[in-house]
């Protein structure tokens, strides 16, 4: 391990360490807690860097850090050289404290100036990530038709099960510093663990960040509501458009829902068996009416059932399907109830 990364000046230039100090990123907090646990001898140095971080109290860009910490590095090196040189001083400890305080105070003054000119422009991580998607290079790596399921394995080992009418985009620098993907539609993610590189699913309304876990995200452009369901592990969900919507953290069996116009996430529990039903594309109909059929098609396939006009008679259907193409399912229902239909992407219109 290159211990130079744990030098104070390098720690103060490390974004993940800054996040750990201010407890603003769960992944980074876990990462540095594990580093301290595995390397107890580094604890004193990390605590010293953390104190300076608190003294500075703000975060700046990498370019700003580079310029200002060159000065900090020079001051620290000068201090180390003075300690190695056998020069007699009356109060070495007091002198050391004075030098550290002077360096920190000088940098603090600059940071405070930057802070007051930029604080009104700061944004939560979800908003920042969404802007990066719009302004950075993301390429399509997989997409599905309305009647298709597809399983994709990413370069880091993460497995994505995509539902119909879905598109998955990936950042060009995926798995270098972080792991960001953009989803339109619905997909189940089995994330490969990597504490140093958080995994984030970005959608039109939300970002969902995890280390190693399993969760499902539903974000169809035709729907006004987004939903995140957590199967295993832990995730943090953020808004991509409003800094006034508080983040939520999910534990297994919990889901978060955000609808257009809402000012907060709606957090609730769900039946974990429903996740297996979705993964297996299992539909069970028992004298089901049109409402039940419509609900199941939307839940399992992401397909909307539209009725052209009221049915002349009550629709009823009994049957069971597992991992079946939705067109074959609607064919069976249509044959039993004497109607025709027309498909347009993820919409199926029934005609009686």
The CATH number covering residue 168 comes to 2.60.120.1440
320 and 204 share one domain: no
What is the reported pLDDT for 78? 60
Could you list the beta-strand ranges (E) of 37-196. Answer: 138-143, 150-153, 159-162, 167-171, 179-190
Residues 6+ apart with CB under 8 A from 62: 13, 15
114 and 141 share one domain: no
Domain boundary among 223, 245, 274: 274
Residues in the chain with pLDDT < 50? 57-62, 64, 87-91, 93-98, 108-123
41: which 2 tokens? 């001898």
What is the reported pLDDT for 76? 55
What is the reported pLDDT for 117? 37
**Distance separating alpha carbons of residues 32 and 28, to the nearest angstrom:** 6
196 and 64 share one domain: no
Q: What backbone phi and psi angles, to 5 degrees, belong to 280?
A: -85, -5
What is the reported pLDDT for 159? 97
Residue 191: count of CB within 10 angstroms of its CB: 26
254 and 131 share one domain: yes
What does the buried/exposed string (b/e) look like for 44-63 if buried means 16 or more CB atoms within 10 Å of the residue's CB? eebeebbebbeebebbbeee
26 and 93 share one domain: yes
151: which 2 tokens? 């399983």
Domain boundary among 65, 95, 121: 121
What is the reported pLDDT for 310? 64
226 and 141 share one domain: yes
243 and 165 share one domain: yes
Integer Rg of the chain from CA: 27
- Give the structural domain span for 295: 281-351
270 and 300 share one domain: no
- Tally of structural domains, the chain: 3
The CATH number covering residue 306 comes to 3.55.50.30
39 and 157 share one domain: no
154 and 246 share one domain: yes
Domain boundary among 103, 121, 139: 121
What is the reported pLDDT for 110? 47
159 and 259 share one domain: yes
Is 213 in contact with 229 (CB distance < 8 Å)? no
113 and 135 share one domain: no
């Amino acid at each position: 391990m290159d211990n130079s990364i744990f030098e104070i000046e390098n720690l103060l230039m490390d974004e993940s360490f800054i996040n750990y100090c201010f407890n603003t990123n769960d992944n980074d907090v876990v990462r540095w807690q594990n580093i301290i646990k595995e390397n107890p001898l580094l604890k004193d140095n990390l605590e010293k860097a953390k104190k300076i971080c608190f003294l500075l109290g703000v975060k700046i860009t990498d370019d700003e850090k580079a310029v200002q910490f060159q000065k900090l590095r020079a001051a620290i090196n000068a201090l180390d050289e003075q300690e190695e040189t056998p020069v007699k001083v009356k109060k070495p400890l007091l002198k050391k404290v004075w030098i550290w305080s002077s360096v920190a105070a000088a940098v603090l003054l600059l940071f405070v100036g930057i802070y007051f000119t930029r604080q009104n422009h700061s944004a939560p991580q979800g908003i920042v990530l969404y802007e990066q998607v719009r302004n950075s290079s993301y390429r399509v790596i997989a997409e599905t038709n309305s009647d298709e399921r597809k399983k994709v394995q990413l370069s880091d080992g993460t497995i994505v099960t995509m539902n119909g009418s879905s598109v998955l985009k990936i950042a060009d620098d995926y798995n270098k510093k972080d792991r960001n993907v953009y989803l339109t539609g619905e997909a189940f993610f089995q994330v490969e663990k990597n504490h140093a590189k958080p995994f984030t699913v970005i959608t039109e309304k939300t970002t969902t960040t995890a280390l190693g876990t399993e969760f499902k995200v539903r974000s169809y452009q035709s729907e006004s509501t987004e939903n995140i369901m957590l199967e295993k592990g832990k995730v943090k969900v953020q808004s991509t458009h409003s800094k006034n919507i508080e983040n939520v953290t999910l534990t297994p069996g919990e889901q978060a829902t955000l609808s257009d116009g809402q000012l907060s996430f709606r957090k609730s529990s769900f039946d974990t068996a429903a996740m297996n039903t979705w993964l297996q594309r299992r539909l069970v109909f028992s004298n089901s009416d049109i409402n039940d059929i419509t609900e199941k098609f939307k839940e399992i396939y992401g397909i909307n059932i539209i009725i052209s006009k009221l049915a002349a008679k009550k629709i009823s259907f009994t049957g069971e399907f597992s991992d079946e193409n939705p067109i074959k399912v609607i064919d069976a229902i249509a044959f039993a109830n004497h109607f025709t239909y027309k498909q347009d992407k993820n919409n199926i219109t029934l005609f009686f």
